[in-house]
Amino acid sequence: MAGKRQPSKGLARAIEKSTEFFGFLPRWIRRKKITWSGQLIQIGGCVRVDYVNDKYDGKVRRYFHEFENQAQIFADPVPQKNGEMVLVIVGRFKIEAEGIIG
């Protein structure tokens, strides 16, 4: 189709992983501009992630994952222009169809 761009390899891979994880294509894709301050500060260990999702069957459920090896959580000390904060979780884990592994 004229005018439609092909997604980048990174975006195509993200769509593939999202579809594998949720069991359906993404409902929407949104570009998010993040302005980095050039530094991150370590704010502690991340031992568990909790999230709410309607993956697989459309029923909203609460999920959690306890990390086998403690992950580290970092924050950009400077808020984004809209007031949101950027958090980064670093550890040895993968996001697979079954959920977070590791």
CB 44, CB 67: distance < 8 Å: no
Contact call for residues 39 and 73 (beta carbons, < 8 A): no
Among 30, 29, 23, 28, residue whose Cα is nearest residue 54: 23
> Tens of pLDDT along 8-66?
898 898 888 888 888 888 888 888 888 988 899 999 999 999 988 887 777 888 988 89
Strand segments (E) across the chain: 41-53, 61-75, 87-90, 94-96, 99-101
**SS3 (DSSP) at 13:** helix
pLDDT exceeds cutoff 70 at 69: yes
Q: Give the tokens for residue 90.
A: 């670093």
Burial class for 68, CB neighbours closer than 10 Å (0-12, 13-18, 19+): exposed
Give the mean pLDDT of 77-99. 88
For 19-28, 42-51, 75-84, 85-94, which range has the lowest pLDDT when averaged over its residues? 19-28
Q: Evaluate whether 87 touches 53 at the Cβ level (below 8 Å).
A: no
CA distance 45 to 95: 19
* Predicted TM-score of the model (pTM): 0.67
